[in-house]
Structure 1
Amino acid sequence: MGKKTTAAAVTPRVASAGGVSSHNILGDLAAKGLSKAAPHTVPWILGAGMLPVGAITHATWGTAEALPWASAALALSGAALTGVTWAVSRYRHTLGRMQSTGTTAVASGWLLAATITGPTMRPTLDLGLWLGGTLAAAWNIRNVVRPHEAGEAGGSPMTGVSLFKRLLTGTAEKAGLDVAVTGVQAEPHRITGTVELAEGHTVEDLQRAIPTMEAAGRLPSGTLVATPNPRDAGAPTMTLSNPLLLEEPILWPGPSRPGGSIAEPLRVGVFQDGTPIEIVLPGSHIQIMGMTGSAKSTGIGWTILGEIFTRHDVVVLFVDITKGRQTAGPMEPALHRLEGTVAGAQAVMNQIQAILSQRTDDLAALDLLKWAPGCGLPYMVLWIEEAADVFDKIEMTEFVNLMRALRSAGGSIVWSLQRADSTQMPTMVKGQGAAWICAGVANSHDAGWGLSDDQEEAGAKPERWGASKPGMAYVQVPGVDRERIAMPGRFYDWGTTDERRVAAMRAHALAWPATRKPVDPTTAKVCVTTTAVQGQTDDRRDELETTSVIREYVTPNGELDGADATMPPVDPDAPLADVADVPLGDPDAVKMSPDQAREVLDQALAEFADGRPFGPKELGHVLTTTGLKRGWIQKVLKERVEAGVLDHDPDARDQRAYRVRALTNA
């Protein structure tokens, strides 16, 4: 029964003659005409309804005793209704607001007169017919002429699209602009539309008016963003989103494309319209700027690097001469090089410059004009933390030349600093970057150094946050749509406390170590870390870097070598030639790759899975098999301890300090 009823309800009316059914076209046309005419009858019906209402109020309150009180009450209520109409129609165009308010005033005034004289008395009846007919006709004209306020294809006038149009036209009028809104699209966390500007107005006028529009609409600051339309300067795009969406930090959800290529987008946060922040690194140099406490290092920096570490075709060379390992320490296993001195910073840049021609030749041999995934060369990322201190010490002319050449050879430079003004770095460096991430800053003057001109003109204001919302930033990097370059976003957070952040990053770096990424012989020349001691003077730096290598590979290790505790220490200042570095095991053994060597070590550790303690000297056969040196096995054992696979007791007797940690059920 239900199906038959539904079918009958939607089937057009047909006439049957001689067994042949045909559509009743005239009936269909009449029904369609009535449906279109019905909305236009509403003003006339309401106007005619005033006559019986006036008759009722006159009969009820038209007596001499009640009339004074009724007149006063009707006058006050009419004035109140008129004021309410003016207030609630503030988002309408001026003409619509005046028409709505005028209609309310005329109707309440005529009802007062009809209550006193009666609706059929003259001139009350004449005025009612004249004013009512005029207002009804005016509403008919407005309904015919004005576009649908509900959207592109009709619909309810109370939809979000309708309110968006009314909001923009009404608030723009308060700001002195006359606009029309078309092409509205509503999404879960944002609404966009094309704003057609009146003659004589530009998109810059609209951008300057946004604060006034937000105030007039009682909206949070940053709700509206106007973006120029490259195809039509008079029709920019306006986006409405909710800045309160990013009030709380958002924990890092994990890598977006683990094992993928660095050419694929890096997911690093969320915009306030709910869409992910995804940036494309190859082909760009990036400037990251923000005041102390804005999380430009551990929020923005760690999140970008955390994504980079999970890509198979990229190497990261990290420089921080100010904080040493404070920022880089938890990431160290995933870095191909870490430099903490001025000499080391200059050295890595010189070495990169030295291999560029070979890399470009390798790309040219493949008929490539720029780096591409699968070309056989890993992409190089030179990350400079606290860059102002580095720029103050190195030769900037050479650095600018490196920036110009590196992109063609397959590399990017990312520099992070607190204030990118001309006293901290040459203006040319910022111009070479062409990609900007600006976190919270102290004031609008500082904001100008961290934003592009387009971001400033579009209304980006990072001084709104300062350091109060770590991780908040504006992003103009390849991969980000132009309409979002002035939309606030929030980069992921690695934890709710510093301890959890450090632990999360250390675990992530251990899971994606640099040793597991293949590097071609040319790029390998710059992937050798110079272990530097933080805070030493320049004239001692070379000596310290050399002696640190001697200590790592030459100083006897009691655990590994089984040396007597009374053995005299090796002088670390002695010439390297006098203290040959002889590995354990067969010196003629062929070196295995790091991955193959780790498999051999895993097999050796499996023998101690019963919990028996062991020392490095009991793993000497691993070095014999792999052809590697003791420094490698010490490094891997340290990684396993930090990853929670091994327990380590530095005070253990007879040098058996390690134990395989037993697995427990969660």
Structure 2
Amino acid sequence: MGRKKTPAHSGGTAEGGVIHDKVLQRAIAGGVAKALPHTVPWIAGAGMLPVSALTHGLWGGAQALPWATAGLALSGAALTAVTWAISRYRHPLGRMQSTGTTVVASGWLLAATITSPTARPTLDIGLWLGGTLAAAWNVRNIVRPNEANEDQGSALTGAGLFKRMFTANAEKVGVEVGVRNVKAGAHRITATAELSDGDTAEDLQKATGAIEATAGLPMGSIVVTPNRRNAGEPTVTLSNPMLLEEPILWFGPSRPGESVAEPLRVALFQDGEMAEVILPGAHLQVMGMTGAAKTTAGAWGFWGELITREDSALIVVDITKGEQSIGPARPALHRVVNTKAATKKFFAELQATLSERLDHLAAKDLIAWQEGCGLSYLVVWIEEAADVFDFIDMDEFTNLARMLRSAGGSLVWSLQRADSTQMPTIVKGQGGSKLCFGVANAHDAHWGLSEEQEDAGARPEQWKATQPGMAYGEMPGIAAERIAMPMRFLDWGTSNEARVRNFRAHCAAWPATARPVDPITAKICPTPGAAYVAADQAAAVNETDDNDPEVTNVTAEYLTPDPELDDSQPVDLDAPLDEVEDAPLGSGEKMNSATANAVLDKALSEFADGREFQPRDLRHVLDTTGLGRGWIQKQLKVRIAAGSLEHDPETNTYRVRALAHA
């Protein structure tokens, strides 16, 4: 006795008329729904007639008309201003159309109140302008969906969600901003921000942290980049920092066998795009604290790409860590420099070849190195550069940096903190390109970032040494909107043992002998891995500190107080100093330590009045003593530690401390 089932075919036949009626009803309803938006402008225009008839009846008399005219004029002007202001985030054409409609409607209402809406030509003008505006709105609705429909259509897309999220949360933190030209990719969304009058890109950059917090986004998700063409329309980029939470294994060389002029693939941005850097024509500063992976990620990442390029010559200088950083890469390096004596020897030889390199390029009518010019591109990578800068002649190094850029080479110096105590400001100016890994604090970050990166919100102090390989970069090949976007350098393995093993195997597969250099470059690295190793070792045997003939252990000197600067004895800077026999300028003879220190003390006494000075103001001391800049720096550090000098690292200036109270 179950329910009787009707066969499917009979149901379709019996109910065919009902189905047809439902389809027809839906079609009619859909047509009406689509037509309704187009009737709104006409209905609104027609509604102006009874409204104007009412205002004419109320205020058309002689006594009320002056007041009504003034009131309606002011109301129309205010309504027009409001329309213009609230539509500032719409397309310029839409803004003009909505504001123009308000002007025409309020103006006609004023005229109809004075003359009557049926008076001629008030009625004719109303019909003409009203019909034109209504038709214009119809055209706009047909050709381009209005803002409401557009928002509905994109509400569930990445672009629509970003637009709503960004504008709403910006408003919560007190920033009025519009968004247009939203483009959603696989791992990022970019858009053009439209700032309100008086706001700047810097104001929006300062608010990004608050917007991220309000929206519940990870720190560093939003990057704001100024637009050079329009200061009021910066670019906003949203990406996911969590993409870089785990190490990313090295993909292998990007362009093996090609020129070093092609980009080097070294890292992955948090928006999923690869970081590709163009090294020729630029010097590079690499900075980061111990444990931030400047070497195993930064240096090895660059080296891993450079040794696969047929026209590159890679020379590494490291007098501090030695084989720990250089060892796995030795087969792929054209020259290794790991002692003080070898470093001085190398830089002297490099300087001697620069004129010949420049002449070679000039003979080919080239003002800079380019692929196929006949010269190998030199990359001189200086690890723990502060230790190198402490004993070489920095004036000569600065000149070398100026020339090498034009002669087909790049200098890369890597150090923990690039302040003026570690390297002269003029050398930093020769760099231009910056790569900053994790640092201890915001003050240290200042030395590793450009002003543009800081303004855009780059914060390497957030990583410290907890996320090795994370960095910010401002280098040729990196777009302006990414200079403050975190990237993670590709990792050679998941453990230190694996990193060394994999990097060593890669370097063995790409030996320097497979990349022969040109005859000029061969003068400083003729036989990779052989001749210059022996020569540098021979130089190391006889190595002495020629900046101080009586000191052979610099570390011991820092740890052992100088008896001449005994803190227990008050120092009177105004007391007369013993006469010191002057040495002939340019004689090349070096004074002993005691005599040289007396000359320096006499020079410092000239600043006992409290004036600031810099090491360059003591150049005459070097001429007199025959010693080098490294000796001056070391002696100034000793006096700072003893309390007789004050040092301002921001300006790299010194001041003799007043001891009159002592």
TM range, smaller chain:
0.5 to 0.7
**Residue in 1 that maps onto 2:263:** 265
Question: In the alignment, is residue 280 of structure 1 matched against residue 278 of structure 2?
Answer: yes
Q: Which amino acid aligns with 2:416?
A: Q
Q: Which one of 370, 373, 380 corresponds to residue 372 of structure 1?
A: 370
Q: Deviations over 1:230-278 (max 9, x none)?
A: 1000100000000000000001110000001000000011000000010
Q: 1:36 to 1:160 in 2, by over 3 A?
A: farther
Q: Are residues 377 and 164 of structure 1, via their aligned partners in 2, closer, same or farther at CA, if it must alter by over 3 Å?
A: same
1:407 Cα offset (Å):
1.0
2:543 to 506, 522, 538: 538
CA drift of 1:456 comes to: 0.4
Match of 1:329 among 321, 327, 343: 327
**TM-aligned CA distance change 1:326 to 1:39, over 3 Å:** farther
Return the match for 1:510 from 497, 508, 511.
508
- In the other structure, the counterpart of 2:147 is 148
- The residue type equivalent to 1:247 in the other structure is E
SS in 2 for 1:463: helix
Q: Paired residue for 2:416?
A: 418
Match of 1:194 in 2: 192
Measure the CA separation in 1 of the matches of 2:36 and 2:365: 69
Partner deviation per Cα, 1:194-240 (whole Å, 9 max, x = no partner) = 00100111011000001100011011000000000010001000000
Select 1:474's aligned residue among 472, 475, 484: 472
CA distance in 2, matches of 1:477, 1:150: 43
**1:460-516 Cα distance to aligned partner (Å, 9 max, x none):** 000111111100000111001110000000001111111111111111111111111
2:307 aligned partner:
309
Q: Map Cα deviations across residues 608-639 of structure 1 (whole Å, 9 max, x no partner).
A: xxxxxxxxxxxxxxxxxxxxxxxxxxxxxxxx
Equivalent runs, 1:73-472 vs 2, <5 Å: 148=147, 155-472=153-470
**Amino acid of the structure 1 residue aligned with 2:179:** V
Q: CA shift at 1:148, angstroms?
A: 3.0
Alpha carbons of structure 1 residues 536 and 465: separation in structure 2 relative to 1, 3 Å: farther
Cα offset for 1:447? 0.4
What is the root-mean-square deviation in Å for CA atoms of aligned residues?
A: 2.9
- Other-structure match for 1:524: 522
Change (3 A) 1:158 1:400: same
Equivalent residue letter for 1:539: T
Query: Percent of pairs identical after alignment?
Result: 56
Q: Find the aligned partners of 1:35 and 1:388 in 2 and give their Cα distance.
A: 72
Partner Cα separation in structure 1 for residue 38 and residue 183 of structure 2: 26
- Opposite residue 426 of structure 1, the aligned amino acid is P
Structure 2 SS opposite 1:501: helix
The 10-residue stretch of structure 1 (215-224 or 421-430) with the greater mean CA deviation from structure 2: 421-430
CA shift for structure 1 position 175: 2.1
| Inter-CA distance 235–212: structure 2 relative to 1 (3 Å threshold) | same
Structure 1 residue 317, shift from structure 2 partner: 1.1
The 5-angstrom pairing of residues 14-25 of structure 1 reads none
* Pair 1:35-2:34 in alignment: yes
Query: SS of the counterpart of 1:239?
Result: strand
CA distance in 2, matches of 1:30, 1:166: 31
**Match of 2:214, as an amino acid?**
A
* SS at 1:435 equivalent: strand
Q: For the residues of structure 1 that align with 2:405 and 2:149, how far apart are their CA atoms?
A: 49
Deviations 1:591-623 (A, max 9, x none): xxxxxxxxxxxxxxxxxxxxxxxxxxxxxxxxx
Equivalent position amino acid for 1:382 in 2? V
Alpha-carbon separation, structure 2, partners of 1:177 and 1:359: 55
**How do residues 561-640 of structure 1 correspond to structure 2 at under 5 angstroms?**
none
Other-structure match for 1:554: none
8 Å contact kept, 1:149–1:157:
no
Partner AA of 2:474 in structure 1:
Q
Counterpart Cα distance in 1 of 2:357 and 2:479: 32
Rounded to whole Å, the distance in 2 between the matches of 1:540 and 1:432 is 27
Contact kept in structure 2, 1:290 and 1:440, CA below 8 Å: yes
2:316 partner SS: strand
Is contact 1:315-1:378 (8 Å) kept?
A: yes
The Cα of 1:39 is off from its aligned counterpart by 11
Does the 8 A contact of 1:151 with 1:161 survive in 2? no
Q: Cα deviation per residue 1:25-70 (whole Å; 9 max; x = unaligned)? A: xxx99987741636999xxxxxxxxxxxxxxxxxxxxxxxxxxxxx
SS at match of 1:310: coil
- Secondary structure of the residue aligned to 1:521 is coil
The structural deviation recorded for 1:427 is: 1.4
CA displacement at 1:168 relative to structure 2: 1.2
Q: Distance in 1 between matches of 2:163 and 2:149?
A: 8
- Mapped partners of 1:448, 1:343: distance in 2: 33
Letter in 2 for 1:148: E
Q: What is the match of residue 112 of structure 1?
A: none
Deviations 1:528-585 (A, max 9, x none): 52444599773399xxxxxxxxxxxxxxxxxxxxxxxxxxxxxxxxxxxxxxxxxxxx
Does the Cα contact within 8 Å between 2:267 and 2:489 map onto a contact in 1? yes
Q: Give the letter aligned to residue 399 of structure 1.
A: F
Query: 1:500–1:206: structure 2 CA closer, same or farther, 3 Å change rule?
Result: same
Q: What is the CA–CA distance in structure 1 between the aligned matches of 2:285 and 2:319, rounded to whole Å? A: 18
- In 2, Cα distance between equivalents of 1:450 and 1:431: 13
User: Counterparts of 2:28 and 2:362 in 1: how far apart (Å)?
Assistant: 71
Confirm or deny: 8 A CA contact 2:340 2:540 kept in the other structure.
Answer: no
* TM-score for the superposition, normalised by structure 1: 0.59
**Taking structure 1 as reference, are residues 523 and 487 closer, same or farther at Cα in structure 2, changes over 3 Å only?**
same
Quote the residue 1:575 is aligned against. Answer: none
Is residue 261–residue 311 contact of structure 1 (8 Å, CA) maintained in 2? yes
CA distance in 2, matches of 1:149, 1:197: 21
Structure 2 counterpart of 1:655: none
Inter-partner Cα distance in structure 1 for 2:342 and 2:280: 25
Which whole-Å CA distance do the structure 2 matches of 1:189 and 1:40 have between them?
Answer: 42
Displacement, 1:297? 0.4
Structure 2 distance, partners of 1:219, 1:34, is: 39
Inter-partner Cα distance in structure 1 for 2:39 and 2:160:
20
Report the 3-state secondary structure (helix = DSSP H, G, I; strand = E; otherwise coil) of the residue aligned with 1:155: helix
1:150–1:159 Cα contact (<8 Å) kept: no
- Count matched residues: 416
Contact 1:285 / 1:433 at 8 angstroms: preserved in 2? Answer: yes
Give the CA deviation at 1:146.
Answer: 11
Mapped to 2, the partners of 1:278 and 1:219 lie a distance apart of: 27
Give the AA of the match of 2:544: D
2:492 maps to amino acid: W
C-alpha separation in 2, matches of 1:300 and 1:186: 30
Cα distance between partner residues in 1 of 2:250 and 2:417: 26
- What CA deviation, in whole Å up to 9, does each residue of 1:620-659 have, x standing for no partner? xxxxxxxxxxxxxxxxxxxxxxxxxxxxxxxxxxxxxxxx
For 1:358 and 1:158, locate their aligned partners in 2 and report how far apart those are by CA, in whole Å: 64
Unaligned runs of 5+ in 2: 1-26, 41-86, 90-139, 527-531, 547-662
Quote the Cα distance in structure 1 between the aligned partners of 2:302 and 2:32: 61
